[in-house]
Amino acid sequence: MGSLFRYEAEILSPLHIGSGDSSRSFEYLVENNTVAFIDVWKLLNANKNNRGFIDSFYRLIGEEGRFSWDEVLKYAPKVQLKDFISYEVDILGAQQVGNEIISFIKTAGRPYIPGSSLKGAFRAALLRGIWDAVENRYKKRLEEALGDKDVTLKELDDFSEKELFGKPHYSPFKLVRFSDSLPLSQKELGICEMKILNICSGKRKWFNSPGKNVEDSKQARALYLEVLKPGIKVEGVFEIDSKNKTGNVSKNVRNQWILECAFQNIRRDVEDYIEEEKEFYAKYGLYELEQFYQELQERSRGLEENELLLQMGFGTGYLSKTVGRFFDKDDFEKLSRKGMRVSDYNLFPKTRRIIFSGGNPVSVPGWIKITFGRTAESVEIKV
């Protein structure tokens, strides 16, 4: 085992990591710029002998757009919904909240950041950071995989990485570990509004429905997400053990050099990525987002040796999770033959998920700053 270190992750823009669950409109109330989530099962159980209440509830949730607590509570006039609120969170600039709210991952009801999500962001950024050293080998393996009719699109990336770094048990990333963060209180959550930017024929548009994009962002379809608020900090434990030569795993790990100068390589990649995204938003006249990246760029340039910026979580897109930033037109043409949907080989991806506040685009999701601190030798890591 190598040395263990505390990490502190500060949320810079709304971060969503999904649990796979969501809350429908009858499961929450919107009031005074907050969302109050109702413990529906507790409410139903408390009124299980009231057939009028139960029948009305199930009838109305089956009729899309017709549900009304006022109508259901006609059968239980003494019931106060506030007595069945499980928790409340602030609304972060959304002008309205409707439809489903996509839930943040929780343990025992408390939000946290999974170590696997942090490791995935670290891994993706580090692969891009050492791209110059692996590009030729990576693309050669990719070419071979493209020529194999039995290799699916889903398997392509894994195939290339396994050929370079070995199977997961022998990959250098086996030596990198992040624990889950310590759980937070529910008050650290907020509700934000997200919309999808789509570049169509060189112009910015916004997703409304399948096959329909609109120029006015107010007409775009919105997603509502539980997120960790900007400014929130979480803690956990980190290990990077590139020098450990004992044990079968370490002896057989391939390409351990990848972990050398990891922080410097990640910082270089992130700086390039930020500059490219800043130019992208400037090109399409989204100056609020250009300013967001300008401020992020200033943060990046002021990092200490023990600090990193990373982007992670839902809505961060293809570029943050892959090495696709380095692919050219020919690469995308080849990938399309395996079934990858590429509408424009010269501009991929054409979409971005954008956080709105007060009706305006203000940021992109999932940026965090990680500070690696003092050692923590006796802390158990959950891998």
Percent of the chain residues topping a pLDDT of 90: 64
> What is the per-residue pLDDT for 158?
67
Positions of the chain with pLDDT under 70: 1-3, 64, 154, 157-161, 163-164, 166, 168, 242-251, 374-383
Per-domain boundaries in the chain = 4-17+110-375, 37-91
Query: pLDDT, tens digit, for every residue of 107-122?
Result: 999 999 999 999 999 9
> What is the per-residue pLDDT for 277?
97
> What is the per-residue pLDDT for 145?
75
The two structure tokens encoding residue 148: 């194999």
Q: Which among 217, 226, 231, 158 is positioned nearest to 352, based on CA atoms?
A: 217
> What is the per-residue pLDDT for 259?
85
DSSP string, 78-144: T--GGGGEEEEEEE-S-S---S-EEEEPEETTEE---HHHHHHHHHHHHHHHTHHHHHHHHHHHHHH
> What is the per-residue pLDDT for 292?
98
> What is the per-residue pLDDT for 336?
83
pTM: 0.90
